[in-house]
């Protein structure tokens, strides 16, 4: 799923390590999310929305096939 994680992380001046620590996940998870190789659980999506102070829809771009 396409997402804006890398851009939002930059706006909030967070490194991948810092974001991973805030979300209690590995840096590899952040890398996989940013490269769109991994779709997060709904719980992780909500955590991301809290960190970035926005709606889940502002982070993830849903496209029907």
What is the per-residue DSSP string for 28-58? HHHHHHHTT--PPPHHHHHHHHHHHTS-HHH
DSSP state of 2: E
- pLDDT tens-digit map of 4-58: 999 999 999 999 999 999 999 999 999 999 999 999 999 999 999 999 999 999 9
When divided into structural domains, the chain yields a total of 1
48: CATH:
1.10.260.40
pLDDT at 62: 84
pLDDT at 63: 80
pLDDT at 55: 97
Domain that holds residue 35: 2-61
pTM of the model: 0.91
Taking residue 44's Cβ as centre, other Cβ atoms within 10 Å add up to 16
């Amino acid at each position: 799923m396409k997402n804006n994680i890398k851009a939002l992380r930059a706006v909030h001046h967070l490194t991948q390590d810092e974001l991973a620590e805030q979300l209690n996940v590995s840096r590899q998870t952040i890398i996989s999310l940013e490269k769109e190789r991994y779709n997060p659980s709904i719980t992780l999506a909500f955590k991301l929305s809290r960190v970035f102070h926005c709606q889940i829809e502002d982070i993830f771009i849903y496209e029907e096939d």
